[in-house]
Amino acid sequence: QKEVEQNSGPLSVPEGAIASLNCTYSDRGSQSFFWYRQYSGKSPELIMSIYSNGDKEDGRFTAQLNKASQYVSLLIRDSQPSDSATYLCAVRGEGYQLIWGAGTKLIIKP
């Protein structure tokens, strides 16, 4: 059974600080990794994808991938109240199906 694990939270971070979200996965053959943001009652919205070991930056967001340790993380710099949402980690193995974590609820406190 392929699994993706996330801490459900909530993770509370002061406004302006760095939020760090983590995700581990069980399938060592996983090839691509995605972070989605989901506001309450809304559908998931793609933030970033990452395929290679190392860091990938896009604005205030940085995704980090370590295949040897089987974890992927998302850093949000200069956190804003509008970043408050649930962050979903999704992992793809050999096919097209995504395996999803249950999400981490992030709260940015003004």
Partner 1 sequence: DTGVSQDPRHKITKRGQNVTFRCDPISEHNRLYWYRQTLGQGPEFLTYFQNEAQLEKSRLLSDRFSAERPKGSFSTLEIQRTEQGDSAMYLCASSRDRGRPSTDTQYFGPGTRLTVL
Judged by the rule CB under 8 A, the positions of this chain that interact with partner 1 are 4, 8, 31-32, 34, 36, 42-46, 49, 51, 88, 90, 92, 94-103
Q: Which is nearer to partner 1, 51 or 57 (CB)?
A: 51
**CB atoms < 10 A from the CB of 93, how many?**
16
Q: Least distance from C-beta 25 to partner 1, angstroms? A: 12
Q: Is 38 helix (H, G, I), strand (E, B) or coil?
A: strand
Q: Least distance from C-beta 17 to partner 1, angstroms? A: 26
Q: Which is nearer to partner 1, 19 or 50 (CB)?
A: 50
Cα–Cα distance, 109 to 103 (Å, whole number): 19
Q: Is 83 helix (H, G, I), strand (E, B) or coil?
A: helix
Tokens standing for 57? Answer: 């930056």
Q: Least distance from C-beta 97 to partner 1, angstroms? A: 5
Q: Which is nearer to partner 1, 20 or 38 (CB)?
A: 38
Cα–Cα distance, 57 to 55 (Å, whole number): 7
Q: Least distance from C-beta 108 to partner 1, angstroms? A: 20
Q: Which is nearer to partner 1, 8 or 53 (CB)?
A: 8
- Is residue 46 within a helix (H) or strand (E), and if so which, with residue range? strand 45-50
